[in-house]
Structure 1
Amino acid sequence: MDRNTLTGLVLIFVIIGASVFLMKPSDEEIKREQQLQDSLALVRKGQQPASTTDTATVKLTTVVDSAALAGPFGGATVGEERIVTVENEFIKAHISTKGGRVKAVEVKGEQAYDGQPLTLLGGEHTKFGLSFSSAGKNITTNDLYFTPSGGNIQVAGQDSASVTFRLTYAENQYIDYIYSIRGDDHNLGLTIVTRGLQDVVAPTESRLVLNMESPLLQQEKDIKNERQRSTSYYRLASGDVDHLSLTNDDEEEITEKLEWVSFKQHFFSSVLVSENGFNGGKINVYTTPEDRMVKLISGNLYLDFARSDVNTYPLHFYFGPNQYSVLKRHGYSLEDQVDMGWGPMKWINRFITIPVFSFLDGFHLSYGIVILILTIMLKLVLSPLTYRSYVSMAKMRVLKPEMDEIKEKVGQDNPALLQQEYLKLYKQAGVNPLGGCIPLLLQMPFTIAFFFFFPNLFELRGESFLWVKDLSTYDAPITFPAIFGVDHISLMCILMTITTLISTWYNNSVSGATGQMKYIGYFMPLIFLFVLNSYPAGLNYYYFLSTVFTFGQQVVIRQMINDDKIHGIIQANKQKPQAQKKSKFQQRMEDYMRQQQGQAKGKGKK
């Protein structure tokens, strides 16, 4: 070995020794590494490691094998999670670099039932991303790390701003999520752009799958009622709005083009709208037993993928209240998520109740006063029907002695003959036995319409009146350990029940009702006491007021009606020739009675 070789070897050993000494980890680095390994061990056991994060950055360490790093988007499989906030006057969205997804959205000015800021979407449990195949592997962008182009954004008024989250495959090959926001609405814009991926996405695929999944967190006091009013709504390109089951787990495969899909809770919604439409999709809704979790909704929505350098998908979110006027202003028929009933009840609420309520709301009165005025207006409009119904009942009351005589003469053994004699009496007296029922039936759609209107009225949420703290849910001045699922008594429901019982007693005393009919009227209020006990105090308050005013109308009308005068009119009608035209009802009843008599005679001959 010559001197040069020896000198080289000595230098090499000196360099190696110095490197080992200089690169030796410090005690702090050894401690951090130990903490990392402990955290990884907890993750493998399914436990949550202790967090040392702040509000701006969340440090996440992902164990990735070399194959994943070498695969498509391999460089994005590891990274550091950061949160970028995008906010305006109405919402504050927290967007994560992991998946480039909206993790949670705070609706400003609103609170959950427990006083905490109202937040939509489920944080760490929220998923949002594109899925497709590449190089024989399934790629899900929800699990990959994006790079934001800027920091937090805050706008107001007509101002707008945007921030881009980029998922890089290679130079000039990437996926962009471009989030944009204006200062004056509940929308969060999202434009998805793919560039240079025509040869990255598997050639057998003609679409990308946009997966969105989130639990609906409890926002209202009564989670049972909230579950019954929460599900996924969607609108087809044809304009039809439909929804999955409100009461059961449900799944639906949609083959038609979709305009939007909503994760709808009782009073708030998270809606994803596509400007160009989704090419179908699959939506699921599940009820979970977990505390404070209303339901879990997930959807796979299909986006057409063209083999071109750039594909653009303009979308936007709506994060906000299910307030009919706000949703209607937004467009896309989002207001159809607010359940206003079916058939005539739906049109009554949309074209009568909502406009009148909005007009009264413009005076900025207490909502208890607004409901009071609304009830008075409705009762005045329907008073002609109430009057006609009461007059018809008075005629039947005056005829009752004669009907009792007929019953005693004919007996109860031949009901067909008895009914025929009654019809003759009605015809002679000029009385329609259904005259009291028809006006009540005409009023029934309004009564049922309010049954849908008040429980879904966002304006009542959090509004107090008298002892009621929140008109949108039940009042519970009396609580106790649950018995058969009931743990409270609603005072407003009690008042409604008492007034209904008093009104029933008065009607029975005036009409002279006897037998079973006398007692049936008492059963219904008692049944509604149990049914409506957990319904919103605003609804029970309306029914209470409605019963009070109806009772008052009946008392006034009773003073206006003279039974002796009605009796005189009936007797005068009896003296008139009986050539007047029969009503269809009378004709059908007579035909039915003749048929019954014929059948009875035939059986007697046998």
Structure 2
Amino acid sequence: MDKKNTTIGVLLLLAAFASFYFTSRPGPQTTPTGLPVAAAPTTPTTPATPTPATTTPAVPANDAAFAAVVSDNANATVTTLANDYVELRLTDFGGAISDVAFKKYPAAHGSTAPFVFNETHAAPILAFNGFPGLDQSTRFQLVSATPTEVVYRTIFENRIEVTRRYILPAANDASADPYRIRHETTFRNLTAQIAPLPNVVNLGTSALVSSNDAGLYLNVASYDGDKPTVIDRGELEGGGFLNWIGASKNPPKSVIEQAGKVEWATVKNQFFASIFTPEKPGTGIVVRRVELPPLAGTSHTNIGLTGAIRLDLPVLPANGTTSFAGDLYVGPKEYTRLAKFSHNEDKVMQYDRYFFNRIFFSGYVAPALNWLMNGMHSFVGNWGIAIILMTLLLKVVSLPFTLAASRSAKRMQKMQPLMQAVREKYKDNPQKMNQATMELFKEHKVNPMGGCLPVLITIPLFVGFYSMLQGTAELRFQGFLWAHDLSAPDTIGHIFGLPINIMPILMGATMLFQMRLTPSPSIDSAQAQVFKFMPFLFTMICYNFSCALALYSTINGLFTIGQQLVVNKYTQDATPTPLGVPSGTGKSGKPIKNVTPQKK
């Protein structure tokens, strides 16, 4: 492919990433005021007979714009449900899930402690919100507890009996997902009067996963059966492109409520998510910001999100019973796992959320790449090698198109003297110039757009790979060569406070060498300067992306370099000569006077 087509491709990528950067950049953050952290679990007690509900006051919010972070009640009874993948800590305050530990995912690189979702929170997961006397401060009684099931019960104001049941799949249950919990809540009216019910259920609190996490995937989302709706942290902070350039000052919002059909709702960050899929679709979601303690090793503001789903619960009839049930997934954002669910829960991955994702078909490309990468990993057992093999396979598949484009570029390069002669002869007649140029292309069987096809293939693959990597939990803390985490930059040290990332530098070097090998038509000095600067610009843009993306691009570039060397060595097309139509030079190399068909 010639350098003009390469330039078009790179400029499209730059425009796409610039669009992504500006549309997802959060606004300025409020300085945290210091909040309490969830307390340690207490020792479980034996099941008790249901008694009227008791309540304790919740921790007040420090700022009306933020939901309050609450500490587990010191008197709480914590009951545990666990399998080989998760450990749920359920609290009798709210009869809900305090937090969930992921046994397969460490909290930090080299740590044996698991990552804990909802560890610091505004409310336990599936606790009721906004219904005083029957919320997270209400104490339930533990009715029963087995290795796979926990049941809570309370009586609200001597009027409503509330029973909450949690079922976790056993370790040997191959028919169920180990991260998915079945939940049922039943309301029974003990009086002869109708009664309103709590209909807002908490989904948990999501936080940044590391200091490298920019919060681009920290959001609350819902799915209406057609498309997902996403509320970012920046929408609450008053962020956005206009704010970033100073053209607008959107004030922070204390809460965002959105009405509409909800087949499932989620609170998530870059790698983990809490997804609740009710049997009967909900009617909306509620989102608030949460001030959290700074991440380990940092002192800057750490703002999380808490979300809730609004359920479609009718008024409880006199002496009647009603209930709601659903499946709660709390676990890693693994596409191959989520794709097995029946309500398109895999859209949590956000592969096609942004405009630049959609124009490059990332909604189709990224899932295919994820499936291919996981398939390669199942054979080799190393994610870095899996990425290399996947890259090579994609290059082999696209090889016929790339070789055809390379040969076309070589022919175009050798046709430059003929084309220059046409331009000189018809510089005052653009119509005849175009006609003669097209005759040249036709005569020498050169497609002027032939070099574009590899670019049209490469860009969707690159953007799809970028989209896929952003939320692929499988790559978190997976090492390769000197990189200890393929989902983060491969920083090996710092110079004057600036990180030294090797893989993006190698990527830029391969791009630079590749461009020097690529045949190029005659170009002016301004275009030449653009060509020289592009590898450096692209390296700067990708410098702090995950090193898995740079690994993919580097291997792709090395393969392309080898391919171009072969093409340059073995493609020995003769200097183009006219095949019946004078085009500037003949087989003898002497100039041809006429470059257009002679009139009869």
When normalised by structure 1's length, the TM-score is 0.73
> Taking CA–CA contacts closer than 8 Å with sequence separation of 6 or more, which of the two structures ends up with the larger relative contact order?
2
Counterpart Cα distance in 2 of 1:563 and 1:246: 58
8 A Cα contact 1:122 1:216, kept in partner = no
| Residue 91 of structure 2: aligned partner | 96
Moved more, 341-350 or 526-535: 341-350
| Structural mapping, 1:120-519, within 5 Å | 120-123=117-120, 125-127=122-124, 128-130=126-128, 138-150=132-144, 153-154=146-147, 161-169=148-156, 173-184=160-171, 185-196=178-189, 202=195, 205=196, 208-212=198-202, 214-224=204-214, 227-236=215-224, 238-245=225-232, 247-249=234-236, 253-278=257-282, 280-284=283-287, 286=289, 291-292=294-295, 293=302, 295-308=304-317, 309-341=320-352, 342-343=357-358, 344-350=361-367, 352-411=368-427, 419=434, 421-480=436-495, 482=497, 487-507=498-518, 511=521, 513-519=523-529
Q: Which residue of 2 aligns with 1:546?
A: 556
Give the aligned CA root-mean-square deviation in angstroms: 3.3
TM-aligned CA deviation for residue 495 of structure 1 = 0.3
Contact 1:270 1:319 in 2 (8 A): yes
CA 198–271 in structure 1, closer or farther in 2 if over 3 Å, else same: farther
CA–CA distance in structure 2, aligned partners of residues 246 and 394 of structure 1: 50
SS across alignment from 1:129 = coil
Q: CA deviation at 1:505?
A: 1.5
Match of 1:557 in 2: 567
Which protein is richer in helix relative to its size?
1
Alignment of 1:10-25 (within 5 A): none
Unaligned runs of 5+ in 2: 1-33, 46-50, 58-72, 172-177, 238-254, 296-301, 584-600
Say which SS state the counterpart of residue 474 (structure 1) adopts. Answer: coil
In the alignment, the residues of structure 2 paired with residue 417 and residue 98 of structure 1 have an alpha-carbon distance, to the nearest angstrom, of: 84
Contact 1:177/1:191 (8 A) holds in 2: yes
Counterpart of 1:142 in structure 2: which amino acid?
A: Q
Tell me how far 1:355 sits from its aligned partner: 3.5
Q: Distance in 1 between matches of 2:304 and 2:397?
A: 42
- Conserved? CA contact 1:389–1:440, under 8 Å: no
Q: What does residue range 62-81 of structure 1 map to in structure 2 within 5 Å?
A: 75-76=54-55, 80-81=75-76
TM-score by length of 2: 0.73
Equivalent-residue separation in structure 1 for 2:256 and 2:372 (angstroms): 37
* Partner deviation per Cα, 1:85-136 (whole Å, 9 max, x = no partner): 1212211111111121211111112112353420001445324533577xxx
What is the letter of the counterpart of residue 144 of structure 1?
A: T
Show the counterpart of 1:109. 104
Alignment gaps of 5+ in structure 1: 1-45, 59-71, 155-160, 577-606
* Aligned-partner SS, 1:141: coil
Of the structure 1 ranges 391-400 and 417-426, higher mean CA displacement relative to structure 2 is found in 417-426
Q: Which segment drifts farther, 521-530 or 419-428? A: 419-428
Contact (CA 8 Å) 1:268, 1:322: kept in 2 or not? Answer: yes
Q: CA deviation at 1:390?
A: 1.2
Deviates more, 1:99-108 or 1:436-445: 436-445
Separation of aligned partners in 1, 2:107 and 2:431: 62
Quote the Cα distance in structure 2 between the aligned partners of 1:546 and 1:246: 35
Contact kept in structure 2, 1:392 and 1:436, CA below 8 Å: yes
Aligned residues: 490
Q: For the structure 1 residues 535 and 199, does the alpha-carbon distance in structure 2 shift closer, same or farther, using more than 3 Å as the test?
A: farther
Q: Report the CA distance shift for 1:321/1:418 in structure 2 as closer, same or farther (over 3 A).
A: same
Q: C-alpha displacement at 1:480, in angstroms?
A: 4.3
Q: 1:285 to 1:517 in 2, by over 3 A?
A: farther
- Could you tell me how far apart the structure 1 residues matched to 2:291 and 2:429 are? 59
Q: CA deviation at 1:517?
A: 2.8
Q: Measure, in 2, the Cα distance between the counterparts of 1:222 and 1:561.
A: 46
**Distance in 2 of aligned mates of 1:213 and 1:262:** 7
- What is the CA distance between 1:501 and its match in structure 2? 0.6
Distance 2:580 2:371 in 1: 45
Query: Take 2:276 and 2:204, find their aligned partners in 1: how far apart are those partners?
Result: 13
Q: Say which SS state the counterpart of residue 232 (structure 1) adopts.
A: strand
- Distance in 2 (alpha carbons) for counterparts of 1:302 and 1:317: 14
Change (3 A) 1:103 1:361: same
Identity among equivalent pairs (%): 20
Q: 1:191 to 1:447 in 2, by over 3 A?
A: same
Distance in 2 of aligned mates of 1:277 and 1:166: 25
CA–CA distance in structure 1, aligned partners of residues 193 and 438 of structure 2: 84
CA distance change for structure 1 residues 163 and 554 in 2, over 3 Å: closer, same or farther? same
Q: Which amino acid aligns with 1:281?
A: G
Q: Distance in 1 between matches of 2:582 and 2:463?
A: 43
After the TM superposition, which of the residue ranges 139-148 and 434-443 deviates more from structure 2?
A: 434-443
